[in-house]
Structures are given as C-alpha cells and as structure tokens.
Structure 1
Amino acid sequence: MSVFTRSRKATVLGAIALAGASALVLAGCSGGTGGEATTPPTESRDLSLKIGTILPQTGSLSFLGPPEEAGVGLAAADVNAYAETSGLTIDDIVWGDSGDTDNKAYATTIQTLISEGVTAAIGAASSGVTKLFLDDAVAAGIITFSPANTSLDFTSWDDNGLYWRTAPSDTLQGEVLGNLVAEDGKENVAVLYLNDSYGTGLNEVFQETFTGAGGTIVAEQSYNTGDTSFDAQISALMASNPDAIVLITFDEIYTIGPALIAAGYPADQLYLVDGNLKNFGSDEKWPADVSMEGAKGTTPAGPLEADAGFQDRLNEWWVADGNTELTDFSYANESYDAVILLALASLAANSTDAADVAAKLQEVSGGTGDGEKCDTYEACADIILAGNVADYDGPSGPITFDENGDPTEATIGVFQYGADNLNTRIG
C-alpha cells in the first residue's frame, strides 16, 4: 500500500441554503473516515489521478492553509491505501500557493497547475482569488474545486460544469449569523465588512436576516483590500452605540479587534465569521493582553468538526509530514471531501479526464442517481466497482450537489471564545 505524504521540497508554488436554513445546524449526517467495504468489487480500474492545490500558504487567509492542505493530504493517503483494490491512485499532488488578491501568488500557481496537466485544482479558499483565475482554469479544461468559496456569484458562473465547492454559499452563513445575533437578544447592530464579493455578499444576507427578525442596523462601514487604517470606521461604529458589532473581515481582525477593545467596546458583543475566526490564544500575532472572551463567530463546520478521531487523523498525517500540530481545523473537512469526491467520480467515470470526472461529481454526492449511502472512500469505491451508484456522505456532511456544483446540505457551526482566547464550538 502506498502512503501519500506532502513535501514542500517537492512542487511547491510561489454555500447554497436549504429550506429552513435559519436553523443553526442543517441536515447533518455523521460521516466517518474508516470502515469496512460493503460490496465485493467486480470491475477493475487502472487510473492515476493527478490533482493540484491552490490554497493559501501566504496572504490574509494563510491560517486556513494548514487545515485545508492536511485535509487534502489525508484524503489522498486514504485513497492510496485502497489503491490495490480500487485500481485508482493519486500518485502526486502539485502543491501551490493561492496567496490573496494583494500578493497575487495565484497567478503563477494556476498556470503551473495547467501546465502540469492536473485533472483538478483544489482551491482557492478566498472567493475573490478564485474569481481571478477561474476563467483560465475553465478555458484550460480543468476542474476547480474549492473547499471554502462562499460567494453567491459562483452559482451562476459560466464554468462549463467545471466549478464545484464543498462549502455552502454565504446565503447559509448569513442566515445563521443573523439569527444567532437576533436570538442573543441584540437589537441595534453595527457592521464592518470587507468590500469584496465575500464581504458584501455575507453582509447583505446577514442584514436581511437580522432586520427580518426585528433588528436594526445602526451603522454600516466598509473597507477595501489592502487598507491598514480603520480609525474612521471604528469611530463611526462606536458613535452609533450598538449593542453588537459584526466583523466580516480577513486578517484585518488583528488591527480592528484590538482597536475596538482598546476603545472600550466589550469583546462579548463582537461577532466574527469564517474569514477571521481564529484561535487567538495560540496566535503570536495577537496581543497577549487583549481578551476576546465571550465573542462569538460562525463558520461552515461539518458534523465531524468536533470529532476528536478525525482531527487526530489529520494531525497524525500533518505532523508526520514535518509540520507542527494543527490548532485550527477550519475547512479541513471540506478539503478532505473534495478529494474523496474527485476520486469517486473518477472511479465512476473510469476516467481521469476533467470533463468525465465533473460529469460524475453530482452523482457520487447523492445529487442524482438514487445511490447507496456510504461514508468512507473504501465503501463507496466498492459500490461503484460492483456496478452500482454510490452516495458519499463525508466529514463535512451529506453535501448533495445541485446542478450548479453547490452543496444543498451543509452545517454552520457556532463558536465562542473563552478566557484563553481559544474558540470552542457551542452549536
């Protein structure tokens, strides 16, 4: 059996809401990462699937890089561990940096992935970054599969069926966040958001949900990518005397959060989102004397987000590859499932051609085909090899793609910070 490991010495380059999406947790199904094969294989395969990553090793979302890359690597290892039976291997991953819209590492990475002939590029994390290279990937005929894009714009993107994501669109997170703030009894809320497709989309849905629940937006401030001073926005927020402030940011939280608290705003009235929900207590960039105790935040988080067994497996693979232990598991589940779904779609198509694989992704997710439920690569592979249809439910949940490549079932987790400045899932 081959075991895939990630090495930076190798090639390293420079959400849709369901009906009832206002619930904090939707349609969760406890997937697993181990288990017995369910059906004796009868069909043979001889496939070598080549994938690449365009995930943030640098830039404003670099904190998401380690858990996402760990998810990709662990999934590839699980696929390869069953290669003797399934006939499909992931022999190599071309690891690449997406950076962000400011440092533009994605521009080099996507061209390298195209020239390397990958079937699929896993990434980017940032919706804004993906928008800048997606047309190039589509023109080259490769799949772009993001574990973290949430912009509403991708639902109607002209992508020739080559764009997919395991993260739900901002419709879902915005509704959950709006209801969370309302259910916490907040009535007069101020918002500071990043003026890009991610920030504007999430802000719009949040405000619609919160005001629909009877709340009032007393101040709305925005900023642009690359801004470093937020004094004017913070002054405007404070002047509105809000009983909660929602911060829809990326790494700007390192400036904005401490500044708000220094201005006397209580941390337990702050609400964060997936772009800035970090474990500040283990982050050397966060001032040790600034407490976020009581602050809350939301992020896509599958049913296994709090499952120690899956996180242990992620850390085992990550540390064995020469890295320090993960302290954040954001989008690791979604990254793992992206790779497993690609492998299953390749098996179902008996092909590594991107168009063939893409044509089977909805089926293996349970979006079409009335398939048999399975929650491990091994079990699903055996169903496919027996000539049947598999319906994979993984660590991120049921997924169930629609025709646009959007998951129609997802879970949003609610987290709260303790005295140690670490966040813990509470819902």
Structure 2
Amino acid sequence: MIRIAPAGRALAVAAAASLALTACGGGGDAGTAAKASESAAPASSAPAAAAKGDGTLTIGTLLPQTGSLAFLGPPEFAGVDQAIKEINDAGGVLGKQVTKIHTDSGDTTTNLASQSVDKLLAQKADAIIGAASSSVSESVIDKITGAGVVQFSPANTSDKFTTINDNGLYFRTAPPDKLQGRVLGDLIAADGSDTIGILAMQDSYGSGLADQVTKTAQGAGAEVVERVDYDPKAADFSADVAKIKAKNPKAIVLIGFEEGAKVVQELVKQSLTADKVKWYMVDGNMSNSNYLKMPKNTLKGVKGTIPGAAAPEEFRKKLLANDPKLTNYTYAAESYDAAILIALAAEAAKDDSGKAIAAKLPEVSKGGEKCKDFKTCADLLKAGKDIDYDGVSGPIEFNDAGDPAEATIGVYQYGAENTYDATKALEYRTGKIDG
C-alpha cells in the first residue's frame, strides 16, 4: 500500500465555535451534544421515556433498486442482509431480533426517495442505510435527521456531507471524494499524462470529484485543458465530447453514473478511443453492465478508482450463499459494516433510538478492544468492555464529522472483455481523510 500525504483541511467548523453544531455534519460533536442534552434534562420519568426507543431496533434501507445507480443495489442490499442475519443469529439487539425494511431510493429524476423515507419513518425506522447517490441523500437528509433518525450511507462520497447540517445524525463508511480525487489525480500524473480533459456529470458528486482531480493533477504539474460538466439526462453528448476533442488531451477523466456508457460510445465515435487516449473512471461508472454490450477491447487498459478495499473472498462467499446471482461487490462491505455498527451502537447505548445510536457510533468504532464480528463485539459490550470494531471494509474510526478518519482506494484496470476484476486491484492506496 502507498501512504498518501494527508491534504490540508479548511472547514467551516474552524471559523467560529458558535457555528459548530449548526454548520457541521457531526458524529462526535453531535454525540457530545446529545449527552449534554440528556444530562441537562429534568429527572422526571416522562422525558426520559420519550427519548428512548421502543426496544426493537428497526433498520431501513434507502438503496437503488431502480435508476442510474441500480447496479449498486444488489451488493448493498446483500451486505445489509448478511449483517442483519448475523446479528439476529447472535441473539439480536437488546434481546430482540432486528427488523429490516428495504425500500428503493431511485435517483434524482424521481421522487421515490422521499416517498420511501416517508414509508420508513411511518414504520418507525431507527436508522436508515442509504442512499447510494450523494444527490439523493442530500435531497432527504433534512427529512431523516429532522425526525431524529440516523442516516448512514455506505456509498456517499460528496465532500458536502462533511459540513452539512445533520443534527449529528449522518454517518458514512465511504470516504469523501477528496481522497478518491487525490488518488485519481496522482494516478493520472504518474502515468505521464500532462494534459487532461474532464467529463463530469453536473451534480455534487461529479463536480466535487472533478474539482479534487483538477487540484491534485495541477499540483503534480499536469494541466486540465478542458472540463465539461454535463447534464446526465441529456439525450446526446456529442457537443460535450467535441469540446474535449478540440483540446487534444492525453488523458480523459469520466465522472458519472449509468449515462457514462453513452459518453463512452460518443468518445469512440469521435475517435477518442482508449488505445489512443488514456481513459480514467470512478466508482459511479466502473460497474456498468452496458459495457458488456460493447465490442471487445473498447475499455481495454482503462483504469478506474473505487473507494474501499476489495471484499474478502470469505465475505463474498457468504453473500453468494444468499444471492447466487450477485456479480458485483461494490460497497457491499461498507453496507455490511454500516448495519453492524448501528446494531453495536444501539447495544452500547442500551437504547435503539436514533439519537442514542448516533451518540455511540464514534465510541464503538475506536479506542477500545479490537473485535471484527457482531457476536464478539456484543459479548464484550455486555461484559462492560469498550470496543473498537474493525470492519470488512477496513478499520473504521469516525471523526467529528461522521466521516471515516482513514480510507482505502482501489485502482483497477479493464481487460479485453470490458470488465475489471473486482477482487484484484493494481494497488490500494490508503490515506487519512483529515489533515
């Protein structure tokens, strides 16, 4: 693994202490606030009872069954299902079986996410795992966290969530784009490309990643000669690609979702093929089933980055036992870890309410006795021990913003069949999120 020097962090939280609770997306800060609030509450039994959960941990999912990120749904649902199976096999949480409710997040072209959140809140979900899309999560975060429910995404990478106002109830196991963008920018520069064209979808995910790639690549001496932030719902990308072609870059970065297949087809049509120009992709468009319909060698040699280390073989076997059709494992481990951490936090708090879970999530992720599965960790908690859960997706330690403090980015390469090996990476690069 290559250790990446942490980039400097200049967040709004440093501007004024009085803004800390309203301007920050906080895990630790919110937990402290919640504890302070509880300790300041009157001693009467009524308020205490109102703050408690109902004794049954209910985990909802807001993950893509349809839409531009539907290919990420199966591995994410599989990860959550496996975690809840293991939790319930070990006796559940607070002596009761965990309840799960799956819903569809859709994408930003529909109102499915909002409708699904309404359904989950009506069914008293204590925590909601999702969404996969940063833009979808951004559209519902106020509704979820405003209801006192934990929102925990396994795949959101937009930097916006580091400082978003979330009532201390938003967490994620996927790292912010500033790390993936740094790795991708470093990779392009190391491959010898000093002129770069960027085609990025116009939303918080695409624009944020494009900004970081630009910053890193330019810092390494390369030049972004053209950047096009396109409308992902556009019927045609010929004009966008033509702008890139006019600047004759040595490398082209593609940042998007399912529409990326149409962008690839246009690149080929305009003779900007992968054997002439180096292409680079990201997690949002790496696992696109439409690539399989393209002529062989269309993507041969193309490189891309995906947050997180590859799912271990033993873990993949467990998932396949529940879903034999599973072919993609992207964010499966992060989804699994999200569910395990939620359950452990509820167990540690002896309370399944969203605020109680949020207050304990940082605590169960660091600083205690190491453990790697729910039963072992839960047994330690019941014995009065402090725990440090290290997950399938890697060591997880939440910082004050609810982000993982460190993360790993895998670098993959496509072969002649227009696929990459999801179990093998050219390399993994690990770095600190803050610094």
On whether the aligned pair clears a TM of 0.5, the verdict is yes
- Residue 376 of structure 2 corresponds to which residue in structure 1? 379
Tell me, yes or no, if the aligned pair for 2:370 and 2:388 is still in contact at 8 Å: yes
| 1:346 aligns to 2:343 (yes or no) | no
Q: 1:125 aligns with which of 132, 138, 161?
A: 132
- Residue 70 of structure 2 corresponds to which residue in structure 1? 62
Structure 1's 254 and 290: CA in aligned 2 closer, same or farther, altered over 3 A? farther
C-alpha displacement of 1:307? 2.1
Query: What is the CA–CA distance in structure 1 between the aligned matches of 2:134 and 2:302, rounded to whole Å?
Result: 25
Letter in 2 for 1:259: E
Tell me, yes or no, if the aligned pair for 2:258 and 2:288 is still in contact at 8 Å: no
- Residue 337 of structure 1 corresponds to which residue in structure 2? 337
Query: What is the CA–CA distance in structure 2 between the aligned matches of 1:52 and 1:220, rounded to whole Å?
Result: 38
Letter in 2 for 1:310: F
Structure 1's 279 and 101: CA in aligned 2 closer, same or farther, altered over 3 A? closer
C-alpha displacement of 1:290? 6.3
C-alpha displacement of 1:400? 0.3
Kindly report which structure 2 residues correspond to 1:136-215, keeping only aligned pairs within 5 A, or say none: 136-215=143-222
Secondary structure of the residue that 1:270 maps to in structure 2?
A: strand
Letter in 2 for 1:20: A
How many positions carry a matched residue from both structures?
A: 374
Q: 2:319 aligns with which of 314, 321, 325?
A: 314
Q: 2:5 aligns with which of 17, 20, 28?
A: 20
Query: What is the CA–CA distance in structure 2 between the aligned matches of 1:154 and 1:419, rounded to whole Å?
Result: 37
TM-score (norm 1): 0.84
Secondary structure of the residue that 2:323 maps to in structure 1?
A: helix
- Residue 426 of structure 2 corresponds to which residue in structure 1? 426
C-alpha displacement of 1:263? 2.1
Secondary structure of the residue that 1:78 maps to in structure 2?
A: helix
Tell me, yes or no, if the aligned pair for 1:51 and 1:120 is still in contact at 8 Å: yes
Tell me, yes or no, if the aligned pair for 1:279 and 1:328 is still in contact at 8 Å: no
Q: For residues 304-336 of structure 1, what are the alpha-carbon distances to aligned partners after superposition, in whole Å with 9 as ceiling and x for unaligned?
A: x152211111111223xxxxx211111101000
| 1:275 aligns to 2:272 (yes or no) | no
Query: What is the CA–CA distance in structure 2 between the aligned matches of 1:387 and 1:343, rounded to whole Å?
Result: 16
Structure 1's 157 and 88: CA in aligned 2 closer, same or farther, altered over 3 A? farther
| 1:243 aligns to 2:228 (yes or no) | no
Letter in 1 for 2:200: Y
| 1:397 aligns to 2:389 (yes or no) | no
Tell me, yes or no, if the aligned pair for 2:173 and 2:396 is still in contact at 8 Å: yes
Structure 1 residue runs of 5 or longer lacking an equivalent are 1-17, 23-45, 320-324
Structure 1's 221 and 158: CA in aligned 2 closer, same or farther, altered over 3 A? same
Tell me, yes or no, if the aligned pair for 2:62 and 2:128 is still in contact at 8 Å: yes
Tell me, yes or no, if the aligned pair for 2:306 and 2:411 is still in contact at 8 Å: yes
Q: 2:301 aligns with which of 294, 304, 309?
A: 294
- Residue 14 of structure 1 corresponds to which residue in structure 2? none
Query: What is the CA–CA distance in structure 1 between the aligned matches of 2:374 and 2:419, rounded to whole Å?
Result: 33
Query: What is the CA–CA distance in structure 2 between the aligned matches of 1:227 and 1:160, rounded to whole Å?
Result: 36
Structure 2 residue runs of 5 or longer lacking an equivalent are 8-53, 428-435
Q: For residues 358-402 of structure 1, what are the alpha-carbon distances to aligned partners after superposition, in whole Å with 9 as ceiling and x for unaligned?
A: 100000111xxx211111112211111110111001111112001
Report the identity percentage: 44
Higher helix share: 2
Kindly report which structure 2 residues correspond to 1:10-89, keeping only aligned pairs within 5 A, or say none: 20-21=5-6, 47-83=55-91, 87-89=94-96
Secondary structure of the residue that 1:72 maps to in structure 2?
A: helix
- CA RMSD in angstroms comes to 1.8
C-alpha displacement of 1:91? 3.5
Query: What is the CA–CA distance in structure 1 between the aligned matches of 2:58 and 2:138, rounded to whole Å?
Result: 23
- Residue 271 of structure 2 corresponds to which residue in structure 1? 264
- Residue 326 of structure 1 corresponds to which residue in structure 2? 326
C-alpha displacement of 1:89? 4.3
Query: What is the CA–CA distance in structure 1 between the aligned matches of 2:297 and 2:116, rounded to whole Å?
Result: 37
TM-score (norm 2): 0.83
Kindly report which structure 2 residues correspond to 1:4-15, keeping only aligned pairs within 5 A, or say none: none
Query: What is the CA–CA distance in structure 2 between the aligned matches of 1:221 and 1:386, rounded to whole Å?
Result: 56
Tell me, yes or no, if the aligned pair for 1:49 and 1:88 is still in contact at 8 Å: no
Q: For residues 40-87 of structure 1, what are the alpha-carbon distances to aligned partners after superposition, in whole Å with 9 as ceiling and x for unaligned?
A: xxxxxx953111110011110111000000000000011111117x65
Query: What is the CA–CA distance in structure 2 between the aligned matches of 1:254 and 1:104, rounded to whole Å?
Result: 24
Tell me, yes or no, if the aligned pair for 1:254 and 1:286 is still in contact at 8 Å: no
- Residue 365 of structure 1 corresponds to which residue in structure 2? 365
